[in-house]
Structure 1
Amino acid sequence: MVARGLLAVALATGVFASAVGVVAAKHESRQAFIDQQQALSQRDVLNLEWTQLQIEQSTWATQGRVEEQARERLDMIQPDSDRIVVIGGRSWAR
């Protein structure tokens, strides 16, 4: 009789411990899913920002804008055609 009582207590303890383990595993699984979703959301935000920065960079680097800034900020001008010297490919050879 005592042995059956001890066996019942041991089995009940095992079942309870197993249930606690299942609950803990499920909680960890949900927490990992939440972390993954947050990381994916952050990735999407960063991808959008990266795309916007690439567009901004290409806008700032256009030939027309560079020429405009050279004229306005640096007071550079296009030289007259008689002041432009074209060097042939042979003159650079050694």
Structure 2
Amino acid sequence: MGVVYAKYESRTLFGRLQHLRAERDALNVEWGRLELEEGTLGTHSRVERLARIRLGMHSPAIGSVVFVRP
């Protein structure tokens, strides 16, 4: 009876292991996608474009920029 239970347990654990490996692989794919998205979202040109479109911001005219030195 112990051998039967051990084989059953082994099959059950192997199935769980396969499921966890598939889940790990899916999470790795999602992680890569999120890293790529993070890189895209943080680019300077995208931030500038969103500032113009959503916030109505614009670059100041050259004559209106004042540099203050300590």
| Equivalent position of 1:8 in the other structure | none
Q: Which has the higher contact order (CA 8 A, sep 6+)?
A: 2
Based on CA coordinates, which of the two structures has the bigger radius of gyration?
1
Larger proportion of helix: 1
Shift in Å, 1:87 = 2.7
| Equivalent position of 2:6 in the other structure | 25
The correspondence of residues 5-84 of structure 1 with structure 2, limited to 5 A, is 20-84=1-65
Which stretches of structure 1, 4 residues or more, deviate above 6 A after TM superposition?
Answer: none
Under a length normalisation based on structure 2, what TM-score does the superposition of the two structures give?
0.89
Unaligned runs of 5+ in 2: none
Percent identical pairs in the alignment equals: 43
CA RMSD across the alignment: 1.1
Shift in Å, 1:25 = 0.4
Q: State the alpha-carbon separation in 2 of the partners of residues 86 and 39 from structure 1.
A: 57
Unaligned runs of 5+ in 1: 1-19
